[in-house]
């Protein structure tokens, strides 16, 4: 193999932090293997030249015991380590798909590696436009400065567009800020996309005229790869105030593409369907805050739905807090985004949720709005509860 005379990279690198278990020696060997696996995917001894060895292969920046890690369960395991590996920015180039590949492509297939965090330099971040609205942009859009936002879903699947539009009207009358399609509504024969979007957008616009408030309608544009763009465009034309997307079903890069589309330019709410499968199990996959916080934000979502503690799912309070921090923490020039705790939340939990998630959060309550009394009245109760709890919660 001839020497690679042309390889002359910048030397700038981005960092991935993985959590590994084993003795110090085992972890170091494993870390070394990851440096190769995620770049050259080649036995170290066979790397054809020194330029590739020094410029392409990942380098271990740090290995530290998890006694100094934030996560308490791992902190108690003396055989748990955090390994920081640095990859050349040119390996990922300007492509989100390839960035994900270098960070975790093959290693995702290996048990015992938990992908915890990333640190991307501006030279790499420049390729990402990130969230178009984020917390501040959506507050401005809605004219709400002083409380968490209210969100709900149009459901259940099986209702007709007319029935969902009637529901949307009553939700908007009741003061819900963001009214999204259930993520199970796509373009079914019993509820065609175009008709649903037209009717629901019209119903919410009518309610807005009557209340003088702004409720946004966010249709679900999760769709086959060759239909997603057209569906987003039709949603725009028909008066959508935002979009719902499930990047686990469409690919995370579809979220990035949608968010970067200046012809669409609507707030995007990201739903965790399927994607969340990559975050289960504490010793493998991606940490929840990395997946639903950092990466979803990097892809350009303005709000990230995740299953809150206290509902039908199994995320812990600590995991939910970590997601919330990753959604809102400073990240170069990328706008902070809305954490959207969901998954079986109930009205009675509102005070606790507002205290826990703070002012800059969006509370998504679905089924429980339909329990008991009349829907509009129940929405009004939701709004009252949020306002009350909000007064007792300082700004973040």
For a copy of itself, the binding residues in 346-375 under the rule CB under 8 A are 366-367, 370-371
Least distance to a copy of itself from the beta carbon of 141, Å? 25
Least distance to a copy of itself from the beta carbon of 136, Å? 27
> Under DSSP, is residue 221 helix (H, G, I), strand (E, B) or coil?
coil
Q: Which of 79, 160 has the CB closer to a copy of itself?
A: 160
**Counting contacts by CB under 8 A, is residue 93 touching a copy of itself?**
yes
Distance from first CA to last CA of the chain, Å, rounded? 58
Examine the residue annotation and report whether 391 is marked as an active-site residue of this protein: no
The reply to whether omega before 156 is within 30° of 0 (cis) is yes
CA–CA separation, 225 and 214 (whole Å): 32
DSSP string, 152-185: EEE--BTB-HHHHHHHHHHHHHTT-SEEEE-TT-
Least distance to a copy of itself from the beta carbon of 68, Å? 26
From 22, 26, 51, 239, residue interacting with a copy of itself (rule: CB under 8 A) = 51
Asked if 84 contacts 52 with a C-beta cutoff of 8 angstroms, the reply is: no
Q: How many residues does the chain have?
A: 396
What string marks each residue from 108 to 147 as x (binds a copy of itself by CB under 8 A) or -?
A: xxxx------------------------------------
Q: What are phi and psi of 55, to 5 degrees?
A: -100, -25
Examine the residue annotation and report whether 271 is marked as an active-site residue of this protein: yes
Segment contacting a copy of itself by CB under 8 A, of 130-138, 208-216, 283-291, 381-389: 283-291
From 121, 184, 239, 351, residue interacting with a copy of itself (rule: CB under 8 A) = 184
From 154, 266, 286, 303, residue interacting with a copy of itself (rule: CB under 8 A) = 286
Segment contacting a copy of itself by CB under 8 A, of 60-68, 161-169, 328-336, 352-360: 161-169
CA–CA separation, 43 and 105 (whole Å): 18
CA–CA separation, 195 and 189 (whole Å): 11
Segment contacting a copy of itself by CB under 8 A, of 17-25, 63-71, 186-194, 379-387: 186-194
**Counting contacts by CB under 8 A, is residue 182 touching a copy of itself?**
yes
Torsion of CA 274, 253, 244, 317, to 10 degrees: 50
Interface residues for a copy of itself in 254-273 (CB under 8 A)?
254, 256-257, 272-273
Cβ atoms within 10 Å of 76's Cβ, excluding its own: 10
Least distance to a copy of itself from the beta carbon of 223, Å? 6
Give the single-character DSSP code of 133. Answer: S
Provide the annotated active-site residues.
155, 271
């Amino acid at each position: 193999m001839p020497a690679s005379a042309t390889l002359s990279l910048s030397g700038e690198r981005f960092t991935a932090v993985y959590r590994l278990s084993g003795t110090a020696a085992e972890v170091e060997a494993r870390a070394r293997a990851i440096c190769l696996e995620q770049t050259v995917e080649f036995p170290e001894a066979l790397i054809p030249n020194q330029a590739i060895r020094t410029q392409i292969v990942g380098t271990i920046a740090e290995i530290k015991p998890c006694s100094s890690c934030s996560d308490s369960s791992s902190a108690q395991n003396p055989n748990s380590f955090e390994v920081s590996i640095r990859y050349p920015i040119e390996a990922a180039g300007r492509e989100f798909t390839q960035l994900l590949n270098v960070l975790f492509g093959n290693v995702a297939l290996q048990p015992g590696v938990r992908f915890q965090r990333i640190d991307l330099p501006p030279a790499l971040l420049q390729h990402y436009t990130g969230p178009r609205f984020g917390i501040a942009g959506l507050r401005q859009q809605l004219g709400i400065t002083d409380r968490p936002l209210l969100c709900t879903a149009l459901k259940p699947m099986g209702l007709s567009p007319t029935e969902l539009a009637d529901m949307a009207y009553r939700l908007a009358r009741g003061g819900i800020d963001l009214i999204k399609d259930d993520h199970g509504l796509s373009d079914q024969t019993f509820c065609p996309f175009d008709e649903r979007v037209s009717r629901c957008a019209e119903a919410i616009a009518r309610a807005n005229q009557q209340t003088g408030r702004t409720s946004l309608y966010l249709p679900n544009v999760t769709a086959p790869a060759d239909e997603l763009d057209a569906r987003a465009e039709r949603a725009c034309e028909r008066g959508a105030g935002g979009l719902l997307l499930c990047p686990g079903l469409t690919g995370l890069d579809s979220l990035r593409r949608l968010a970067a589309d200046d012809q669409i330019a609507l707030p995007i709410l990201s739903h965790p369907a399927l994607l969340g499968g990559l975050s289960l199990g504490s010793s493998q996959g991606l940490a929840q805050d990395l997946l639903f916080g950092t990466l979803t934000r990097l892809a350009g979502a303005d709000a990230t739905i995740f299953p809150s503690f206290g509902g039908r799912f199994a995320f812990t309070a600590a995991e939910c807090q970590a997601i919330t921090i990753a959604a809102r923490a400073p990240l170069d020039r990328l706008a902070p985004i809305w954490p959207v705790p969901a998954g079986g939340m109930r009205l009675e939990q509102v005070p606790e949720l507002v205290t826990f998630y703070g002012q800059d959060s969006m509370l998504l309550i679905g089924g429980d709005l339909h329990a008991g009394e009349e829907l509009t009245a129940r929405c009004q109760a939701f709004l009252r509860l949020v306002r009350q709890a909000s007064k007792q919660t300082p700004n973040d």
